[in-house]
Amino acid sequence: MNATHSPDHPFNRSTRQPAILPLTLAHAADAARLHILGQPGTFLTALGGDVLTVLYRTLPVSPVGYGYAALGENGQVLGFAAVTTSTGRLFVEMATRRLGQLLPPLLARFTRRPSLILRSAQTLLYPLLAGNADTGSGSCAELLAIMTEPAARSQGIGGALLAAVCAECRSRGVAELTVTVDAANQGARRFYQRHGFVYCKEFFLYGRAMALYTRELLSL
């Protein structure tokens, strides 16, 4: 993460606002935990905490991934946001560089729930289904997740994380940030609309309707 452009800020004792710092390997387990709490019933959540921990260990050290964590006064993770400029490359990196960590929990999940194998194939096709295929230019990024601790919601943490992500994207020359949400999740849809995202289209993934939103960054 480029410190020159980093919008980091420490915990503010007077306003009780959390510190917003770059996502690191140390945050991976908490990011996985918050992902499961924030997206129950989704495909990635169904893969389990061990697989998600591998994902969030891969992302902050990948050339196509970055993110931010919101930390409380005692350093506890209150929320996080994760971004990639290439979903496909991130998953390939996860499956190659961290194969030893990924394979045992993934095979265990597939054994218990064979239907997840088909969903994994759909995940690989996801950029095409969304009409958001990787171009390799890095000019477009996807917000993979933005999650907050349930007890810390409605305190502006999600907005602060999103602001940090957008600032980092601009510093990297990213012109457009996209996000996909469950079409039935009206709360998430209102959040993104409130923060400048524009609805693009609806598509189907894992048998569910998904809504694609986008936000222009460099023109603002």
**Could you tell me the sign of the dihedral formed by the alpha carbons of 104, 109, 111, 116, in that order?**
negative
Q: For residue 54, give the amino acid letter.
A: V
Under 8 Å between Cβ of 85 and 141: yes
pTM, two decimal places:
0.84
Token digits of residue 35: 């992902």
pLDDT tens readout for residues 98-119: 999 999 999 999 999 998 887 7
- Is residue 148 within 8 A of residue 34, CB to CB? The reply is yes
| Residue found by looking up tokens 């907050």 in the block | 148
Write the pLDDT tens digit of every residue in 45-55: 999 999 999 99
The fold of 19-134+146-170 is Aminopeptidase (3.40.630)
> What is the structure's pLDDT at 124?
66
φ and ψ at residue 96, rounded to 5 degrees: -110, -60
